[in-house]
Structure formats: C-alpha cells, structure tokens
C-alpha cells in the first residue's frame, strides 16, 4: 500500500505496516480480524498496555482543565507530580528537565554534560542505541550511526562490558583521548533493541570509579529500562552506582503521550542556579505528558499491579525455560520483562505475526518485551505461540 507518510528505519517500498481496528489492554485487533498479543510493548513503551484507564483518566481530566501551558507555567500538580517522580526514583536530591521523548532526553543530557564540564567528547558503547537526533545518534553505535554520517570526533567508543579487560582498555582509551576532553560516558543500563546486554555490577562500579578518577560524568540511558521494565523500578537500581544524569522516556507515560525527562544530580542542579540553562522545548513539561506520568506513578504504586508484575515475571522465566529445550535457541538473556532470545537462524517476523504474536524479529534474534500489565493467561498463550513458531522452524 502506498502511504502519504514515511515508515521509520526502512526502505519505503519494503515497509511492513498493518491496519489497526482496535486495541484492548495488551491485544491489538487488525482490520482483517487478526488478534495480536503484543509481546513487544509496541516500541518498548506500552508498559501499561494500550489503553490503561488510569492514564486515560488523568489525560482526560487535564484536557478538561489546563490542556496546555507555558514552559514557565506552574499548573496544579506540576510540582507535586515531579516530587513524586523524584521520590519514586529515590533521587530526591536532584532535579528534572522535561522533554518530549527519548532522543530529546539524551540530547539534553549530552548538552548539559558538555556545558557543565566545559568538555566536549562523549564515550559510548558500540552496541547501543540512544535516539535519532544528531547528538543521540552520534552516541549510538549500531548500524544507524554510520548510515547518517554523524560528526566525527564527538564520540569515542569504549569496549563492550563483556570484552576481556574491558575496564583496563576503557582506562587506556580515556588516557589516549585525554580526560580533559571527555565530558561524559553514556550507557544504556541494559540495552533494549541491541540484545538485552548489560555489564556486571563489578563492571558498573569500575566504570563509575573511572568517572570519579577522571572527572567524567556518567549518563545512564534508562529510556527502555525505566518504570519497572527490568525487575526493579529503574535499571540503575541493580548496580548500586550513582549516575550524574539519567535519561527517561517511553514508560514514563506508558507511551500514551510523547514525553521524557532528564534527571540531573544536585551538583549539576546547583551549577544551573548561577549559570544559564541553555536548553528548552516549546512543549516543555507539557500538561498532557505530566498528567499521563501522574497516572503512571499511580499505577506503579498500586499493590495489585505490583503483585501481578512479580507473578508474570516468574511465569515469563518458566516459559523461557521451556524455549531453552528447542535446538534453535542459542542463548536467552532476561531481566524482568525484557528478554532477548538469540537463535541459530533468522525467523521472519511475519511467521509470528500470522500466529497472532507481535514481536521484534531481528537477524538471528527475537526480542520479547510484554507489557507489564499482561495477565498470566495471555502471557502463557503468547509464549506458547512463540514456542510453536520456533518449533516449526527448527
């Protein structure tokens, strides 16, 4: 079908799309009547399903009261909701800069890090995605970076955490580049689309030590990992390290409104008391995004939500164990409801789709990221279908 708009990250003539008739919780029904179980939270953002009533209620109330605002306007609940976010992050001493999505969060974190340190270079992993704007894409190391010829010299790559002597080599790279030139290291706490890889606690703590030794800021990209995705409220909570900046988006509104945030430490917040914050967006702290986030903060504190989440995280592990018995499965990496399954061959995503499963299919890999509100019965049904497709393609 020829469309009057672009489909992202693909040749337009090959672009796969489908027509949606309706959504209900974690299922999508196409206009052909196919019921799909969403096993990927759309693009890793539908943490709370596709139409969570609590988020919708808050957005509707906002639309009926103060639907838009100046970035400077303090509308009811703006302060209270922000304090709630800080409390939930266990980072009350810092401060929030609001954005309209993940790339904008990364972009503003990079700008603040460069401004605060008066240094320019950023260190980042090769196996990474940080967003599609020029700064975020420069930090990105996957295929999308060279495709856009991002400016040379902005970013220097460090070894992957699982490489031999990764920290020693990172130290050497810092010395070669010159610590006096390096503003920050930006790392996805756990990679999403690039295969659910993370460093060990020792690696993270070693990395933080290098940051302290060389006066380099640590930016943690939590765009995928935030808001209960990986078994804890935030990814950084697994590793006991103190980031200087944290990038948030996606789950912050469960994908219901484009929104994001950057958390900065107190020392950065203090700096901007007397220095101009040269960052801004027309839709800064947009009331509809804030209202959706308010809904999210209500949901994540709900006892029933938490009980179901812990339950389905366990069911997920049990279902993944069953997949391990299939000869096509090479390796499974899982944190909470974020999982990559490496396969011995590529399976066309259409095969899962035709069975009623919506997931990310890559070369020799599938990624499963079910919404956090999925029920046991839908999860086992979905995982059963994934099993069937894998078994049919051994």
Ligand X SMILES: Cc1ncc(COP(=O)(O)O)c(C=O)c1O
What are the structure tokens assigned to 186, written together? 């930006």
Q: Which residues bind ligand X (CB under 6 A)?
A: 101-103, 106, 129-131, 188, 192-193, 221, 223-224, 249
Q: To the nearest whole angstrom, how small is the minimum distance from the Cβ of residue 135 to ligand X?
A: 11
Q: To the nearest whole angstrom, how small is the minimum distance from the Cβ of residue 249 to ligand X?
A: 5
Q: To the nearest whole angstrom, how small is the minimum distance from the Cβ of residue 42 to ligand X?
A: 11
What are the structure tokens assigned to 9, written together? 């990250």
C-beta of 223 vs 241, nearer to ligand X? 223
Q: To the nearest whole angstrom, how small is the minimum distance from the Cβ of residue 368 to ligand X?
A: 15
C-beta of 49 vs 131, nearer to ligand X? 131
> Cα dihedral sign for 207, 213, 214, 220?
positive
Q: To the nearest whole angstrom, how small is the minimum distance from the Cβ of residue 221 to ligand X?
A: 5
C-beta of 134 vs 394, nearer to ligand X? 134
Q: To the nearest whole angstrom, how small is the minimum distance from the Cβ of residue 118 to ligand X?
A: 25
The partner residues of 163 in beta bridges, in order of sequence, read none
Q: To the nearest whole angstrom, how small is the minimum distance from the Cβ of residue 247 to ligand X?
A: 6
C-beta of 253 vs 389, nearer to ligand X? 253
Q: Sort residue 225 into left (φ over 0), alpha (ψ -120 to 50) or beta.
A: alpha
Q: In whole angstroms, what is the distance from residue 230 CA to residue 129 CA?
A: 17
Q: Is 253 within 8 Å of 55 (Cβ atoms)?
A: yes
C-beta of 105 vs 265, nearer to ligand X? 105
Beta-strand pair 182-188/121-125: parallel
Q: To the nearest whole angstrom, how small is the minimum distance from the Cβ of residue 111 to ligand X?
A: 15
C-beta of 91 vs 130, nearer to ligand X? 130
C-beta of 142 vs 319, nearer to ligand X? 142
Q: Is 40 within 8 Å of 367 (Cβ atoms)?
A: yes
Residue 186: CB partners within 8 Å, gap ≥ 6?
106, 109, 110, 122, 123, 124, 130, 139, 219, 220, 221
C-beta of 306 vs 362, nearer to ligand X? 362
């Amino acid at each position: 079908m020829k469309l009057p708009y672009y489909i992202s990250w693909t040749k337009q003539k090959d672009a796969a799309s489908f027509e949606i008739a309706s959504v209900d919780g974690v299922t999508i029904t196409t206009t052909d009547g196919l019921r799909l179980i969403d096993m990927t939270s759309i693009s890793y953002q539908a943490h709370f399903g596709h139409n969570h009533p609590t988020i919708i209620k808050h957005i509707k109330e906002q639309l009926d009261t103060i639907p838009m605002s100046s970035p400077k306007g303090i509308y009811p609940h703006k302060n209270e909701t922000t304090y709630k976010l800080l409390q939930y992050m266990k980072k009350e001493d810092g401060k929030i800069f609001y954005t309209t999505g993940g790339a904008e969060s990364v972009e503003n974190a990079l700008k603040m890090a460069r401004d605060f340190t008066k240094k320019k270079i950023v260190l980042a992993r090769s196996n990474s995605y940080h967003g599609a704007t020029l700064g975020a894409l420069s930090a990105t190391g996957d295929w999308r970076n060279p495709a856009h010829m991002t400016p040379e010299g902005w970013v220097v790559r460090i070894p992957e955490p699982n490489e031999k002597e990764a920290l020693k080599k990172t130290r050497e790279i810092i010395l070669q580049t010159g610590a006096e030139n390096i503003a920050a290291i930006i790392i996805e706490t756990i990679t999403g689309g690039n295969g659910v890889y993370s460093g060990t606690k020792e690696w993270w703590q070693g990395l933080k030590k290098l940051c302290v030794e060389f006066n380099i800021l640590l930016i943690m990209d939590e765009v995928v990992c935030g808001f209960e995705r990986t078994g804890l409220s935030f990814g950084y909570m697994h590793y006991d390290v103190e980031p200087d900046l944290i990038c948030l988006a996606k789950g912050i509104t469960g994908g219901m409104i484009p929104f994001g945030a950057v958390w900065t430490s107190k020392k950065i917040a203090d700096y901007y008391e007397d220095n101009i914050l040269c960052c801004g967006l027309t839709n800064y702290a947009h009331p509809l995004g804030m209202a959706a986030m308010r809904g999210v903060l209500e949901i994540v504190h709900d006892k029933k939500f938490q009980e179901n989440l812990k339950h389905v995280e366990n069911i997920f592990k049990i279902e993944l164990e069953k997949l391990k018995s299939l000869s096509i499965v090479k390796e499974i990496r899982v944190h909470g409801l974020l999982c990559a399954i490496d396969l011995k061959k590529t399976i066309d995503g259409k095969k899962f789709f035709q069975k009623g499963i919506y997931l990310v299919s890559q070369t020799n890999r599938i990624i499963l990221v079910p919404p956090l509100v999925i029920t046991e019965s839908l999860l086992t049904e979905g995982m059963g279908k994934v099993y069937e497709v894998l078994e049919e393609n051994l």
